[in-house]
Chain A
Amino acid sequence: MKPAPFVHHVPRSLDEAVEMLARVAEDDGRILAGGQTLVPTMALRLARPSHLVDINTIPELTRIEVADGALVVGACVRHAAFHRPVEPGPLGALLATVVRHIAHLPIRTRGTMCGSLANADPASEWCLVAETLGAMLELRSVRGTRTIAADAFNLGYLETALAPDEMLAFVRLPLLPATTRFGFEEVSRRAGDYAQAMALAVCEIEGGVMRAVRLGLGAVEGKPRRLAEAEALLEGARPEPDLFRRAGAVASGLAEPVEADEEVAVYKRHLAGVVVERALLRAASIATDGSSHEIIRGVP
Chain B
Amino acid sequence: MSEREIVLTVNGVEHRVRVEPRRTLVDTLRETIGLTGTHVGCEHGVCGACTVLLDGEPVRACLMFAVQAEGKAIRTVEGLATGDTLHPMQQAFMDHHALQCGFCTPGFLMLAVGVLERQPDITDDEIVDMLSSNLCRCTGYVNIIKAVRAVAAQGRVA
* Chain A interface residues toward B at CB < 8 A: 1-8, 35-36, 39-40, 42-44, 52, 54, 56, 80, 100, 103-107, 109-110, 190-192
Contacts and interface: CB of A to CB of B under 8 A. Distances in A.
A106 B58 contact: yes
Nearest to B107: A106
B57 A80 contact: yes
A236 to B, nearest CB: 38
Name the residue among A2, A39, A192 with the largest chain B CB count within 10 angstroms. A39
B60 interface: yes
Given A36-B60, A39-B24, A106-B59, 12 more contacts: A6-B22, A8-B4, A36-B63, A40-B43, A40-B44, A43-B24, A56-B68, A80-B57, A105-B58, A105-B111, A106-B51, A106-B133
Given A35-B63, A35-B64, A106-B59, A8 B130 contact: no
Contacts of A56: 68
Interface secondary structure of B, over-half rule = mixed
A109 B58 contact: yes
Interface in B57-110: 57-60, 62-65, 67-68
Q: Please name the 8 residue pairs, one residue from A and one from B, whose CB atoms are nearest each other, closest first.
A: A104-B133, A8-B21, A40-B44, A191-B132, A1-B43, A5-B1, A106-B58, A109-B57
24 contacts: A1-B43, A2-B22, A3-B22, A5-B1, A6-B21, A7-B21, A8-B65, A35-B64, A36-B45, A39-B62, A40-B43, A43-B43, A43-B44, A52-B21, A54-B68, A104-B132, A104-B133, A105-B111, A106-B59, A107-B45, A107-B60, A107-B133, A110-B60, A190-B132
Given A3-B22, A5-B20, A104-B132, A110 B64 contact: yes
B115 interface: yes
A54 B4 CA distance: 15
Contact of B45 (A4, A40, A52): A40
Nearest to B129: A191
Contacts of B132: 104, 190-192
A123 B31 CA distance: 36
A40 B47 CA distance: 12
Contacts of B62: 39, 43
Interface string B30-70: 00000000000001110010010010011110111101100
